[in-house]
């Protein structure tokens, strides 16, 4: 049975400040480095066969912590990047609400394409879902750990599972350095086996941005 561990990166200062990262290449902070190390201890016990990562440094640095324990190389895939947030990137969510009230309201209501050059959720799901499927296809019957981002992880997993946007809105956001586990078999296809698994958190759950 093929297994995918879809792993969100560790904490960054922008996570802590509720600032929209999107595809801005922000680094892990000290807490994020600690989280990556703690999560890697748990993930190494699953005996992964491969590691794939977003090319943004917060995900790549997270993946590197696991690579250091397992000796596995890390393959990067730009399709695993977070949702592109257009004009919102670099702003706090308070600033987004103040500058773009109509678009922010649509986003809060679950609009798939709120405007302001924000990538649509459908495009995000297809992009990340294709990268997840490619990662799984490289190691059939094995376990692949994929280091990515909160929003991308949810939409990409939803794409593989064939879930509607309404169902996906009910799935809680991944905490930093937590993961979703998917498994595939030829009879039932992709199945969700676990969600939001990881080391004990010592910070408030951040928005998946």
**Residues in binding site for substrate:** 8-15, 58, 82-85
The most distant pair of C-alpha atoms in the chain lies apart, rounded to whole Å, by 49
DSSP 137-198: HHSTTSEEEEEE-HHHHHHHHHHHHT--HHHHTTSPPPPTT-EEEEEEETTTEEEEEEEEE-
- Give catalytic residues, as residue numbers: 9, 82
* Residue 61 CB neighbour total at 10 angstroms: 19
DSSP 9-31: ----HHHHTTB--TT--PPP-HH
- 184 bridge partner residues: 2, 190
Fill in the DSSP letter of residue 114. -
How far apart are alpha carbons 53 and 8 in whole angstroms? Answer: 10
Q: Do residues 78 and 127 touch, judged by C-beta distance below 8 A?
A: no
């Amino acid at each position: 049975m093929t297994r995918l561990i879809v792993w969100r990166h560790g904490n960054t200062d922008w996570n802590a400040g509720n600032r929209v990262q999107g595809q801005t290449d922000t680094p892990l902070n000290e807490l994020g480095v600690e989280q990556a190390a703690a999560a890697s201890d748990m993930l190494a016990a699953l005996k992964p066969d491969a590691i794939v990562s977003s090319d943004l440094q917060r995900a790549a640095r997270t993946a590197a912590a696991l690579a250091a324990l397992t000796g596995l190389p890390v393959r990067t895939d730009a399709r695993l990047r977070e949702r592109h947030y257009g004009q919102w990137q670099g702003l706090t969510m308070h600033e987004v609400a103040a500058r773009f009230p109509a678009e922010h309201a649509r986003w809060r209501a679950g609009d798939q394409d709120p405007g302001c050059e924000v990538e649509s959720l459908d495009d995000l799901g297809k992009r990340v879902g294709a990268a997840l499927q490619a990662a799984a296809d490289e190691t059939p019957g094995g376990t692949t750990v994929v280091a990515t981002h909160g929003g991308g992880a949810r939409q990409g997993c939803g794409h593989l599972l064939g879930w509607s946007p309404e169902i996906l809105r009910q799935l809680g956001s991944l905490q930093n350095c937590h993961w979703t586990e998917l498994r595939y078999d030829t009879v039932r296809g992709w199945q969700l086996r676990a969600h939001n698994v990881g080391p004990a958190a010592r910070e408030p759950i951040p928005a998946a941005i």
